[in-house]
Structure 1
Amino acid sequence: MNLPKVIGDLVKAQDNFDSTAYANCFTKTAMVFDEGKTHNGKVEIKNWIEEANKKYQVTMKPLEYSEAQETLKAEISGTFPGSPLTLTYHYEFKDELIESLEIV
């Protein structure tokens, strides 16, 4: 699957539970919306993913990427009820980094 470099980097950071590398995939003013909560800026995003990694140990398996819709469908597995799940990641990009991410 041909993913944008930043998405490939994000998946790798997630699979390695590397919250710093994960946050570095985002712009300084980025926003992430997940599980009804919004996380703004690199520091909040780093803290959010670090906590999620400790709690759920999620890994991602990309299934389908749409450049036109800027979406990635991925199977996530971890230590959470219902694992594995297929989620859709909606991205907006700026300067080859992620400006916004909504996970549904």
Structure 2
Amino acid sequence: MSLPELAPAIVAYIAATNTRNTSTIDQCFAADANVFDEGEHQVGTAAMVRWMEDTGRRYQPRVEVLNVQHRTGKVLVSNVVSGNFPGSPLALRYTFRLNEQGKISRLDISV
């Protein structure tokens, strides 16, 4: 994936999503990271692994990045996500916040 405007942790997260590989979660997310998706809140890398495994099993998502915007403290990523879910493909926005170490500290997924 060639996305030079994205931090390595974000590129690694998108690659992990597309390959359904949760073994690199600790490289992407801070230990106390938060994810908000489908009305649910996940906290910590163990929860991230469960969330990604469940999402991968149910939906087989494939993320294609369309646009990246950098805002103060945030990275907004517009995507088309396809998979085994109603309305696929679906335009989603990922709002990332990174910590000082460059890992994802928060991810909000919205329509």
TM-score (norm 2): 0.88
C-alpha distance in structure 2 between counterparts of 1:38 and 1:45, whole Å: 10
Q: Secondary structure at the match of 2:57?
A: helix
Instruction: Pick one of 93, 97, 107 that aligns with 1:92.
Output: 97
Specify the alignment match of 1:46 in structure 2: 49
Q: Secondary structure at the match of 2:41?
A: strand
Report the count of equivalent residues: 104
C-alpha distance in structure 2 between counterparts of 1:38 and 1:103, whole Å: 11
**1:62 to partner: Cα distance:** 0.3
**1:11 to partner: Cα distance:** 1.1
Where does structure 1 lack aligned partners over 5 or more consecutive residues?
A: none
Summarize deviations over 1:48-99 as a string: whole Å, max 9, x none. Answer: 1101100000010000011224110111000001000010001110010000
Q: Secondary structure at the match of 2:20?
A: coil
C-alpha distance in structure 2 between counterparts of 1:22 and 1:73, whole Å: 21
C-alpha distance in structure 2 between counterparts of 1:42 and 1:81, whole Å: 28
1:41 maps to a residue whose letter is G
User: Identity of aligned pairs, percent?
Assistant: 29
C-alpha distance in structure 1 between counterparts of 2:75 and 2:36, whole Å: 15
Specify the alignment match of 2:69 in structure 1: 66
Distance 1:93 1:11, change over 3 A: same
Specify the alignment match of 1:75 in structure 2: 80
